[in-house]
Amino acid sequence: MMAERQRRKPGETREKLMSAALTLVGKGRHFASLGIREVTRQAGVVPTSFYRNFRNMDDLGLQLVDELGLVLRRMMREAREHVSQADKLIEESVDIFISHAQANRSFFLFMAQGLAGESRAVQEGIRSEMRFFASELANDLRRLRLVDHLSDSDLDMTSDLVVRSVAFSLTDLLGVSAGDDYQIDQIRKRTIRFLQLIFVGAANWNSVSQ
């Protein structure tokens, strides 16, 4: 008696394994504590198959970081398309961020875990995605000419701080259950205020210091 062996597409098992790992993370497990057997079991695949696709768990983590990059780019594109009026820019961006964080909960959980994770490579990968995100944000801000008085390096710093603040709100967001609308709205409001405070700082930056 042979379990069906169809091999429809190359890389099918690979995706099953990656989403199995994400599923486990979504269930509250920490990526660093996942084992090969556990992931293959969740994927409905025999343990040996793992080695056909990945060298070890760190390798799988690295490939998850790549996919995370795609998720972030999608989010960025949607934010750009929705920037209708400049005065609602912050609110709308935060809303898009929150909806993406909920739609890709496991991905963002993985990201939050990886920032202080076990694998240096994964850590560096996530950090690099965040830097990219911040530099894109700096470009957008420059294009919108809302902060013309800032030097490039000050603009980079501002974007960096924005991205970090949002990333920290992310860990708040992932801590509450997905249906808790009251708490989610609290986090939303707080994040918006953080960003407003930062932009007020940026608007008055040169006039005060440096």
Partner DNA sequence: GTACTGTGTGTACAGTTGTTCACTAATGTG
Partner DNA sequence: CACATTAGTGAACAACTGTACACACAGTAC
Q: Tell me which residues touch DNA (CB under 7 A).
A: 2-3, 5-8, 10-14, 35-38, 41, 45-53, 56-57
Q: Is 192 an interacting residue with respect to a copy of itself (CB under 8 A)?
A: no
* Binding string, residues 57-76; x marks residues near a copy of itself by CB under 8 A: --------------------
Nearest-CA neighbor of 31 among 103, 99, 121? 121
CA dist., res. 210 & res. 208, Å (int): 7
CA dist., res. 24 & res. 28, Å (int): 7
Given a copy of itself, DNA, none, residue 109, with its beta carbon under 5 to 8 Å by kind, binds: a copy of itself
Can you say whether residue 3 is alpha, beta or left, with left for phi > 0 and alpha for psi between -120 and 50 degrees?
beta
Q: Which stretch binds a copy of itself (CB under 8 A): 61-69, 119-127, 133-141, 178-186?
A: 119-127
Q: Is 190 an interacting residue with respect to a copy of itself (CB under 8 A)?
A: yes
CA dist., res. 209 & res. 37, Å (int): 56
Q: Which stretch binds a copy of itself (CB under 8 A): 71-79, 94-102, 121-129, 134-142?
A: 121-129
27 — phi, psi (to 5°)? Answer: -80, 5
- With beta carbons less than 8 A apart as the criterion, state whether 70 and 171 touch: no
Q: Is 199 an interacting residue with respect to a copy of itself (CB under 8 A)?
A: yes
- Least separation in angstroms between residue 81's CB and a copy of itself is 26
